[in-house]
């Protein structure tokens, strides 16, 4: 699911032609493609951009450890967003430079040992400073980029390369190689997000990426280069509407279990705090096969942001069923640091996105995860 373009909408409103903004939000998706069942995905083309859809993002999160000191841990997020501006009215000029697509990007790094959480946001119109290829995964925003690199030779695996940073404090160069097949979430290629036909996405994920690279960290004695290794998760979603009627936000969780399986859930929240029926929890087995299972979401503790006054459920207990054994499973989600809020510096909507440990009912660590909490500062409209 992941943090989407609601955080870009305030800027869209400022840049879009006034006549286009007069469109009825309930029918806006009619001007763009809507996810259809039975879509045949072709790669690498479908790793790339889909400008006929209004919304799209490529989102990488992961846990890293220093090669020289495995106890030194980091969590990272890198997200590249694309949103089509509202279609111009018939009387408005079309094709003006940078008006068709807007690109937002977020980078964040948590230093677990110190608790330091650094993040940066960028926004550019399509053009010299930002863009996304339609033939393969090649998206950029300034000097940040995420690119698919073909294998070095026959039979060699493809790799993903991420280049980014956070102001003058952090630079990162990471490479990823998938250890499992690509997962297409949903039914017949469509991930439902609500009862309306437009409330859906095509949702493609590499759930387990072996990760290597280097972090360059600013420090009082000069920059430090830290070789790192770890695991990451890559979501790619494209749609034209991500929320259904009455929904105000979502809570999303990805889990890397130590037994080689993964769990992904999104809880679509309604105004009264209840979960929309479209909410889903999916297990992914060692071979990449998926199984949807029931779940409950129990808030254990709220953390209140001093910056935005939003209250986020950063400690949660998830109850679900193990599809392999049929037994109940408890997943206790605990953040590695409480303050992992991205505050919406560019006029967007604040949200919480953080690295977590996952424990079982007996307190033993079962794995690691990433938790995303949106719409808690104020309701989303997407």
* 28 band by pLDDT with thresholds 50, 70 and 90: very low
- Three-state secondary structure readout of 78-118: EEEEEEECCCCCCCCCCCCCCCCEEEEEEEEEEECCCCCEE
Paired tokens of 112: 């677990």
* 14 band by pLDDT with thresholds 50, 70 and 90: very low
pLDDT of residue 25: 36
Q: For residue 42, what are the CA distances in angstroms to 46, 187, 204?
A: 6, 18, 12
CA distance 307 to 292: 37
Domain annotation covers residue 110: yes
pLDDT of residue 381: 64
Mean pLDDT confidence for 111-118:
96
204 neighbors 148 (Cβ within 8 angstroms): no
* 128 band by pLDDT with thresholds 50, 70 and 90: confident
pTM, entire model: 0.90
pLDDT of residue 344: 82
In DSSP terms, 183 is beta-bridged to 205
Please tell me which residue, 301 or 23, carries the higher pLDDT value.
Answer: 301
CA distance 243 to 29: 12
pLDDT of residue 91: 45
> What is the tally of structural domains in the chain?
1
User: For residue range 273-289, what is the model confidence (pLDDT) as tens digits?
Assistant: 899 999 999 999 999 99
Question: Is residue 59 predicted with pLDDT exceeding 90?
Answer: yes
Domain annotation covers residue 37: no
Domain annotation covers residue 241: yes
Question: Is residue 99 predicted with pLDDT exceeding 50?
Answer: yes
Domain annotation covers residue 378: no
Q: Which helix (H) or strand (E) holds 213?
A: strand 200-217
| Torsion region of 77: left, alpha or beta (phi above 0 gives left; psi -120 to 50 gives alpha) | beta
Domain annotation covers residue 70: yes
* 209 band by pLDDT with thresholds 50, 70 and 90: very high
pLDDT of residue 23: 34
The mean predicted confidence, pLDDT, of the chain is 89
CATH code of the domain covering residue 155: 2.40.370.10
Mean pLDDT confidence for 13-29:
37
pLDDT of residue 87: 59
- Domain residue limits at 110: 5-25+42-373
Domain annotation covers residue 381: no
pLDDT of residue 243: 78
User: For residue range 231-253, what is the model confidence (pLDDT) as tens digits?
Assistant: 999 999 999 987 778 889 999 99
* 21 band by pLDDT with thresholds 50, 70 and 90: very low
Domain annotation covers residue 30: no
Domain annotation covers residue 177: yes
């Amino acid at each position: 699911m992941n943090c989407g373009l609601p955080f870009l909408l305030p800027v869209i409103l400022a840049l879009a032609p006034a006549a286009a903004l007069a469109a009825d939000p309930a029918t806006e998706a009619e001007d763009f493609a809507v996810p259809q069942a039975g879509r045949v995905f072709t790669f690498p083309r479908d790793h790339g951009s889909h400008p006929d859809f209004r919304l799209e993002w490529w989102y990488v999160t992961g846990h890293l450890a220093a090669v020289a000191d495995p106890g030194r841990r980091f969590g990272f997020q890198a997200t590249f967003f694309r949103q089509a501006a509202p279609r111009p009215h018939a009387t408005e000029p079309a094709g003006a430079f940078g008006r068709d697509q807007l690109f937002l990007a977020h980078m964040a790094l948590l230093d677990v040992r110190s608790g330091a959480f650094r993040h940066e946001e960028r926004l550019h119109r399509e053009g010299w400073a930002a863009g996304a290829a339609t033939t393969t995964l090649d998206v950029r925003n300034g000097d940040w980029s995420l690119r698919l690199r073909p294998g070095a030779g026959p039979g060699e695996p493809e790799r993903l390369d991420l280049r980014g940073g956070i102001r003058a404090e952090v630079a990162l160069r990471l490479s990823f190689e998938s250890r499992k097949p690509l997962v297409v979430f949903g039914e017949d290629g469509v991930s439902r997000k609500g009862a309306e036909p437009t409330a859906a996405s095509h949702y493609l994920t590499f759930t387990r990426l072996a990760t290597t690279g280097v972090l360059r960290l600013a420090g009082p004695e000069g920059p430090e280069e830290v070789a790192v290794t770890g695991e990451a998760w890559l979501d790619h979603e494209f749609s034209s509407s991500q929320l259904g009627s009455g929904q105000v936000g979502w809570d999303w969780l990805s889990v890397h279990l130590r037994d080689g399986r993964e769990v992904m859930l999104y809880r679509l929240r309604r105004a009264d705090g209840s979960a929309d029926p479209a909410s889903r929890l999916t297990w992914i087995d060692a071979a990449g096969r998926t199984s949807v299972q029931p779940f409950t979401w129990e808030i254990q503790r709220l953390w209140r942001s001093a910056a935005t006054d939003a209250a986020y459920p950063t400690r949660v207990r998830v109850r679900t069923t193990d599809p392999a054994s049929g037994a109940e499973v408890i997943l206790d989600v605990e953040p590695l640091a409480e303050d992992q809020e991205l505050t919406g510096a560019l006029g967007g909507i604040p949200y919480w996105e953080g690295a977590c440990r996952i424990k079982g009912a007996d307190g033993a660590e079962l794995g690691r995860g990433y938790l995303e909490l949106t719409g808690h500062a104020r309701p989303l409209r997407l």
